[in-house]
Amino acid sequence: MKILVTGGLGYIGSHTCVELAKNGHTVVIVDNLSNSKLETLDRLTEITGARMAFYRVDVTDYRATAEIFAAHTIEGVMHFAGLKAVGESVEQPLAYYYNNVLGTITIAKLCLEYGVNKFVFSSSATVYGDQASPLYEDMALGQTTNPYGETKAMSERILTDVTKANPRFAVSLLRYFNPVGAHESGLIGEDPNGIPNNLMPYVTRVAKGLLPCLRVFGNDYDTPDGTGVRDYIHVVDLALGHVAAFENLQPGVSIFNLGTGKGTSVLELVHAFTAENGVAVPYEIAPRRVGDVATCFADASRAARDLGWRAKRGIREMVRDAWRFESATKGTKGTFPFVR
């Protein structure tokens, strides 16, 4: 099928483009390059052997995006395009509501206008708020604590209402847990600008000597070693989850957790990184980060049952592939100053 992938040059979108191509789909990418690089398109060709159609377009631009729908017989959409930095969303709420909510509305509207009934949406475990883990898809949406999370909850509600009014519309809301790792080729991976907010890219940059020391945010949580526990999922498993969700789309809304169902603490991840890669990661214990919960992991049984999908890669593969990508990557990341 011909699938429009919004945000297809970003971290998760690019890995999903690879798996879609491997499964015989034709990919059309739209990305405004606000958080990605054009060179990723060449990397996708290197990995898949296919040159994917690419449009540098902002998905909040209805007219420009409509031209893509007019030029291709799109049969389904995977909507990854969005801003994703929680802290930034608190400082710039309008930018987040505008980009993420208007982007979803624009893409959904064009789907209806062009008779595209298959829609896969990038949601997040953040929509559960601070409810106790394991988190189940049937739980009510939780209290989101920042504008980013609210854009995901709002987009879920908008897409749900669209399917109620359009019974042939098939939407899969995929709630990601903590995507980490990189493609095994080392050609694509997570490459955030500036100082990373998330644990894994911070760890890889400390390991590479680009940052002096990891700050472990709290060791007094009610967890086995006191540090925060999360459900890390290899990005290639996540990408494969999208292919499974797309191929099993049913009219109406389906919701799936994409996680492993297993929690790993900050220190477990750091020790696994050092053991697997033989590289030290200096760290210090710092105060808790505002807004963090102690533990967050999925109940991953629905995706296993309904999609026949299960994450196969463990923490060792995640830290190995993250490090391979970081070791291979040159360029802007080396240029920012050391911070203490």
Question: What is the contact surface with ligand NAD in residues (CB under 6 A)?
Answer: 6-7, 9-13, 30-36, 58-60, 80-84, 99, 103, 122, 124, 176, 179
Binding segment for ligand UDP (CB under 6 A), chosen from 41-49, 62-70, 143-151, 214-222, is 214-222
Binding segment for ligand UDP (CB under 6 A), chosen from 159-167, 211-219, 238-246, 301-309, is 211-219
Q: How many C-alpha atoms does 124 have within 13 Å on its Cβ side?
A: 25
Ranked by CB distance to ligand UDP, the top (closest) residue is: 228
Instruction: Return d(Cα 185, Cα 197) in angstroms, integer.
Output: 25
Phi and psi at residue 171, to the nearest 5°: -125, 135
How many helices and strands in the chain, by DSSP H and E? Answer: 12, 14
Contact predicate 59/103, CB 8 Å: yes
* Residues that are catalytic: 148
- Residue 179 interaction partner, one of ligand UDP, ligand NAD, none, beta carbon < 5-8 Å per kind: ligand NAD
- Residue 9 interaction partner, one of ligand UDP, ligand NAD, none, beta carbon < 5-8 Å per kind: ligand NAD
In 167-238, the DSSP E strands lie at 170-176, 178-180, 214-217, 229-230, 232-234
Minimum CB separation from ligand UDP for residue 221, in Å? Answer: 8
Of 102, 132, 122, whose CA–CA distance to 175 is shortest? 122
266 belongs to the binding site for ligand UDP (CB under 6 A): yes
The two three-digit tokens of residue 29, written as one number: 């990418």
292 belongs to the binding site for ligand UDP (CB under 6 A): yes
- Residue 263 interaction partner, one of ligand NAD, ligand UDP, none, beta carbon < 5-8 Å per kind: none
Instruction: Return d(Cα 146, Cα 152) in angstroms, integer.
Output: 10
The two three-digit tokens of residue 262, written as one number: 């297993």
Contact predicate 35/83, CB 8 Å: yes
189 belongs to the binding site for ligand UDP (CB under 6 A): no
| Cross-strand pairs, 5 | 29, 78
Minimum CB separation from ligand UDP for residue 286, in Å? Answer: 7
- Residue 230 interaction partner, one of ligand UDP, ligand NAD, none, beta carbon < 5-8 Å per kind: ligand UDP
230 belongs to the binding site for ligand UDP (CB under 6 A): yes
Of 49, 64, 60, 56, whose CA–CA distance to 29 is shortest? 56
69 belongs to the binding site for ligand UDP (CB under 6 A): no
Residues that bind ligand UDP (CB under 6 A): 178, 197-199, 202, 214-217, 228, 230, 266, 289, 292
